[in-house]
Structure formats: structure tokens, C-alpha cells
């Protein structure tokens, strides 16, 4: 049993719902009508393109094309993460690219091979859909981790230098900052995981149930994907901070001055 | 034996000329006070020694070896450093002390509780501070705690940057006298505090004039 198809009339009915927020905006003079139209139009066009493209990729199901698409997703995630960080792109692009690719790909292949036991590990449907979920989370955790790590070292440079001065190795001097960035970036994901099913009903699970899967299958998928999300998030944060710090500190262990973007 | 030497140092920092062919030597076991006004750049001396800054030309030499990015990590293990801001960590005081002893640079080094107590008492600190959060300590208490950690580490060189800034005059005299009679290590003090100049057994270097005055 698949999901019931939404007809064109059905879709129009969905758009009609927008009358409510538009009316609210008009009534309270919120000045959001233009933004609402713009956002909804943009979303519709983007999704229409992605829909056509994914349809094409899924039908072809070519391993090279699937991998290329996945690589583009990683690339976009890396650019987005560094764009939202305070560090210059040229300083950390390569380390972050490696730090995002290894955990996401490793967890994805583990997931496809050992959890859902696909015969074909690069199956587009799984590689791209699951990859997107993992990367979305890798993006949000790493923005927090990278920013907090380097900004805290900069704002607490006296403390960092004191540790170095007392003979700490680079790793020892960085450890309190590493610890704090880890907690800051991963605790929200853990809190979200702990309330899953009570506070938030996961989109993937709802999607599967609507798509015709039984709730028990959907729940198993959801548990596995939550674990995969957490593992890839934690591993990517670790690798991001470890790999990027090679480019961000001098051979004397001091934070380089020119790594931050100019305001 | 010369333990620290600055040889022919040239350095401009924040478009200010700090050193122009600067030469400075410290013999092992000496107690040296580098005296100068606040903002005169005298802490730059420590930044050069600890590898936080590199001279434009000239060498900083420790134990006969030029300091490089390769050996700086070993040099730092031989120096105990205390600065005026004493940002040494967060949380319980005892845990902070233990953390510094758990650094690989201090592997094999231990101190007995009695030794810790003795050092704390010398600097007018009570053992009850050990269970306190460091944020509950005053600036002066933090400075003395950092001194206690530096002394417990028993390193060959102790470097102090304006460490008596948060102490009242009586306590300041006590701390200076305890430091000078207590340690065999080489002592390098950077200060603008005239109290240090009055201390016995120290050699005083005027940073502005770049010459020995005592």
C-alpha cells in the first residue's frame, strides 16, 4: 500500500490554507504578506525541481550519479557550515570537507549494509534520503561546535595560553574548549532524542506511516536513524575540530590571528 | 650557568618598537626583577620566552638551546608561570590543582597533602579554599593559589607577571619574602611594583632604560 496521491485540486486546496496567515498578517498589519508569498513560491519551485531531479536519479539508479549527487550534498553542507562560522573558508575548507564526508559516508554505508541490509549500498532512495537527514544534522551541530570552539579560545586566550605556558601539550591545552564545544553542540540533539515521540513526532516516521508502512516498521527506522544522526554528528564534530585546528594554530600552539572573517 | 638569554632581539609590536638589539642574560638560580611602567611592553619578554611571540631577529635561548617551534614544548615544561589575571580554570579549587598535576608534563610529580597545606599557609590561605569554587575566591586569593601551584610543580624556572597587583601592602611584602626565601628555582619577575625593588637578593633590570640598576 502506497500513499494516496495528492491531486492538483488537492494541492490547490493546500495553497488555499494560506489565506489564514495572509488574513492574520493583513488584520494585524504584520507586513508579512510579501514574505509569505515569496517563501511559499520559492519552496514550491525548489521542491518541484528537486522532485523532477530525484525522480530522474531514482529511475536511473546509477552508482556514480548517486555518489556524485551525495558529494554535491556534502559540498553544499560544508559551504553552508563554514559560511555560518566565523572562520575563513580558505582556512578550514579541506579539513571540514574530510570531517563531514568520512562520518556521514561511513554511517550511511553501515546503515545501508548492516541495519537495513541493502544488496546495493548506493541505492539512490536510501543514500540520498538518509544522507540528507544525516547531513542536515551534521550541519547544525558543526556550526555550533566550530563557532563555540574558536570563539571561546579567542575570548579566553589568556586561559588557553596559561595552559600552554604550564607545559600542556596542544591537545591538553585545548581539552576544556573541546569538551565544552562537544557538550554545546550535541546536548540539544540528545535532548531532542530523549523527547522523541512525546514532544515531537518525527517527520520521517510520519512520512513512512502516511506512505503506507506499518508504525512498527516506521518506529524501527526512526530509532536507527536517530542513532545514526547522533553518531555522525558526534564523529563529525570531533573530526572537524581535530582536523581544522591544524590550520588554525601556529607551530608554537598559539591561535593564528588571521583565521577569523573580518566583520 | 646561563639559563635564559635574549640575544640581539629586534621586535616591533603593535607598531611600537619594543626591542632594538636587546641583550639580556639570567644565570641559573638568580632572582631577577624586570621593572617598568604598565604598558611599556615588558610582558613581551615573557611572551618571547614562552613562544607566544617570535622576534623579528635575534634568538631567545633556554639552557643553551635556541627556542624553536620544535623545542618550545619542552622549554615550557621547565617553566612555572603565573600572571596577573590568573585565569587558571573553572570549578573546584582542588580539582583545578589536580588537573595541572595530571598534565603529561608533570607525569610522575606528586605532592603530599601536608606539603600543599604548608604552601597554602605560607601564603595566608586556608585549606578550606580547596573545596570552594574558584569563582568564590578574591583576586588576591587566586594570585596566591596560582603561586602555590607554581611552587608545588618544582620547576627550574618560575616566571611571574605582575602577580602582586591584587594584594594589600602587608600581604604583598609577605608574599615577596616567602617567594625569595622559599625557592631554589630561577625567578623572573615582571612588575611595575616598587616593593619588589626593595627586596633583598634580587637583581633589578630597568625595562625602559634597558639596563641593570641593582
Say if the Cβ atoms of B69 and A172 lie within 8 Å.
no
DSSP annotation of A111: I
Give the residue from B43, B54, B73, B79 with the most A CB atoms within 10 Å of its CB, the best one to mutate.
B73
pLDDT attached to residue B163: 86
Contact B89 A172 (CB under 8 A): no
Cα-Cα end-to-end distance for chain A: 54
| Cα–Cα distance for residue pair A165/B81, rounded to 1 Å | 6
Q: Is the dihedral of CA B31, B37, B40, B43 positive or negative?
A: positive
In chain B, what residues touch A175 (CB-CB under 8 Å)? none
Give the closest-approach CA distance of B54 to chain A in angstroms: 9
Residue B206 in contact with residue B178, Cβ under 8 Å? no
Give the residue from A109, A143, A123, A153 showing the smallest Cα distance to A233. Answer: A143
Residue percentage of chain B with pLDDT more than 70: 100
Q: CA A189, CA A193: separation in Å to the nearest integer?
A: 6
The pLDDT of residue A1 is 54
Cell 555550533 identifies what position?
A144
Q: Using a CB cutoff of 8 Å and minimum separation of 24, what contacts does B37-44 make?
A: B37/B192, B37/B208, B38/B192, B40/B207, B40/B208, B41/B13, B41/B16, B41/B207, B42/B190, B42/B207, B43/B161, B43/B162, B43/B190, B44/B11, B44/B13, B44/B18, B44/B19
The answer to whether A59 faces chain B, any CB pair under 8 Å, is no
Q: Which of A131-140, B78-87, B179-188, B205-214 has the highest mean pLDDT?
A: A131-140
SS3 A229: helix
**ipTM over the 0.85 cut-off:** yes
Q: How far apart are CA B97 and CA A124, in angstroms?
A: 55
Write the pLDDT tens digit of every residue in B69-103. Answer: 999 999 999 999 998 888 899 999 999 999 999 99
Neighbours of B178 (CB within 10 A): 17
State pLDDT tens for residues A97-145: 999 999 999 999 999 999 999 988 888 888 888 999 999 999 999 999 9
pTM for this entry: 0.86
Which residues in chain A land under pLDDT 50? none
pLDDT at site B96: 94
Q: Do A254 and B104 make contact, defined as CB atoms within 8 angstroms?
A: no
pLDDT at B40: 80
B199-203: Cβ within 8 A, 24+ apart: B199/B31, B199/B33, B201/B31, B202/B31, B202/B32, B202/B33, B203/B30, B203/B31, B203/B32, B203/B33
Q: Which residues contact A188 (CB under 8 A, 6 or more apart)?
A: A144
Nearest residue on chain A to B150, judged by CA atoms?
A: A166
CB B14 within 8 A of CB B37: no
Contact B175, B6 (CB under 8 A): no
Quickly list H helices, chain A: 8-16, 19-27, 33-60, 63-83, 89-110, 124-155, 157-165, 170-194, 203-210, 215-248
Q: How many residues appear in chain B? A: 214
Instruction: Kindly list the residues from chain B whose CB atom is less than 8 angstroms away from the CB atom of residue A172.
Output: 103-104
Measure the CA–CA gap between A250 and B87, rounded to whole angstroms. 22
Which chain A residues are closer than 8 Å to B43 by Cβ? none
Q: Do A169 and B73 touch (CB under 8 A)?
A: yes
Provide the CB-side half-sphere exposure for B2 (13 A, CA): 14
User: For B164-176, what is each residue's pLDDT tens digit?
Assistant: 877 888 888 888 9
Cross-chain residue pair A159–B88, CB shorter than 8 Å: yes
Tally Cβ neighbours within 10 Å of residue A185. 25
Task: With beta carbons less than 8 A apart as the criterion, state whether A246 and A170 touch.
Answer: no
pLDDT tens digits for range A144-160: 999 999 999 999 999 99
Per-residue pLDDT at A208:
85
User: Which residues of chain A are within 8 Å of residue B85 when distances are taken between CB atoms?
Assistant: 158
Amino acid at each position: 500500500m502506497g500513499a494516496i496521491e495528492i491531486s492538483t485540486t488537492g494541492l490547490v486546496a493546500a495553497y488555499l490554507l494560506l489565506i489564514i496567515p495572509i488574513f492574520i498578517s493583513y488584520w494585524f498589519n504584520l507586513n508579512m504578506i510579501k514574505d509569505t508569498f515569496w517563501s511559499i513560491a520559492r519552496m514550491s519551485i525548489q521542491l518541484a525541481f528537486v522532485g523532477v531531479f530525484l525522480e530522474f536519479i531514482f529511475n536511473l539508479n546509477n552508482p556514480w550519479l548517486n555518489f556524485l549527487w551525495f558529494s554535491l550534498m556534502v559540498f553544499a553542507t560544508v559551504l553552508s557550515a563554514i559560511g555560518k562560522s566565523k572562520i575563513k573558508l580558505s582556512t578550514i575548507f579541506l579539513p571540514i570537507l574530510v570531517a563531514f564526508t568520512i562520518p556521514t559516508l561511513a554511517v550511511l554505508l553501515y546503515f545501508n549494509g548492516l541495519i537495513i541490509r541493502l544488496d546495493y549500498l548506493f541505492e539512490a532512495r536510501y543514500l540520498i534520503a538518509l544522507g540528507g537527514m544525516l547531513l542536515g544534522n551534521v550541519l547544525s551541530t558543526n556550526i555550533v561546535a566550530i563557532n563555540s570552539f574558536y570563539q571561546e579560545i579567542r575570548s579566553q586566550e589568556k586561559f588557553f595560553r596559561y595552559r600552554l605556558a604550564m607545559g600542556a601539550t596542544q591537545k591538553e591545552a585545548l581539552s576544556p574548549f573541546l569538551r565544552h564545544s562537544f557538550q554545546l553542540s550535541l546536548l540539544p540533539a540528545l535532548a531532542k532524542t530523549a523527547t522523541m515521540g512525546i514532544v515531537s513526532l518525527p517527520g520521517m516516521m510520519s512520512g513512512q506511516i502516511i506512505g503506507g508502512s506499518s508504525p512498527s516498521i516506521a518506529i524501527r527506522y526512526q530509532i536507527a536513524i536517530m542513532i545514526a544522526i547522533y553518531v555522525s554528528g558526534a564523529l563529525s564534530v570531533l573530526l572537524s575540530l581535530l582536523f581544522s585546528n591544524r590550520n588554525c594554530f601556529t607551530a608554537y600552539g598559539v591561535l593564528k590571528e588571521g583565521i577569523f572573517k573580518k566583520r | 650557568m646561563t639559563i635564559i638569554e635574549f640575544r640581539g632581539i629586534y621586535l616591533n609590536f603593535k607598531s611600537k618598537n619594543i626591542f632594538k638589539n636587546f641583550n639580556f642574560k639570567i644565570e641559573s638560580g638568580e632572582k631577577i626583577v624586570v621593572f617598568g611602567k604598565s604598558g611599556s611592553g615588558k610582558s613581551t619578554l615573557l611572551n618571547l620566552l614562552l613562544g607566544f611571540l617570535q622576534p623579528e631577529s635575534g634568538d631567545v635561548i633556554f639552557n643553551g638551546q635556541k627556542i624553536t617551534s620544535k623545542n618550545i614544548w619542552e622549554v615550557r615544561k621547565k617553566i612555572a608561570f603565573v600572571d596577573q589575571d590568573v585565569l587558571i580554570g573553572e570549578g573546584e579549587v582542588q580539582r583545578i590543582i589536580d588537573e595541572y598535576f595530571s598534565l603529561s608534563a608533570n607525569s610522575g610529580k606528586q605532592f603530599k597533602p601536608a606539603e600543599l597545606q604548608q604552601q597554602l599557609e605560607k601564603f595566608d590561605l586556608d585549606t578550606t579554599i580547596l573545596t570552594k569554587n574558584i569563582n568564590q575566591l578574591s583576586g588576591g586569593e587566586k594570585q596566591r593559589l596560582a603561586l602555590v601551584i607554581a611552587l608545588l610543580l618544582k620547576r627550574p624556572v618560575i616566571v611571574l607577571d605582575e602577580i602582586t597587583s591584587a594584594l594589600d601592602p602587608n600581604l604583598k611584602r609577605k608574599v615577596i619574602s616567602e617567594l625569595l626565601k622559599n625557592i631554589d628555582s630561577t625567578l623572573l619577575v615582571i612588575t611595575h611594583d616598587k616593593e619588589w625593588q626593595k627586596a633583598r637578593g634580587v637583581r633589578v633590570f630597568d625595562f625602559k632604560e634597558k639596563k641593570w640598576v641593582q
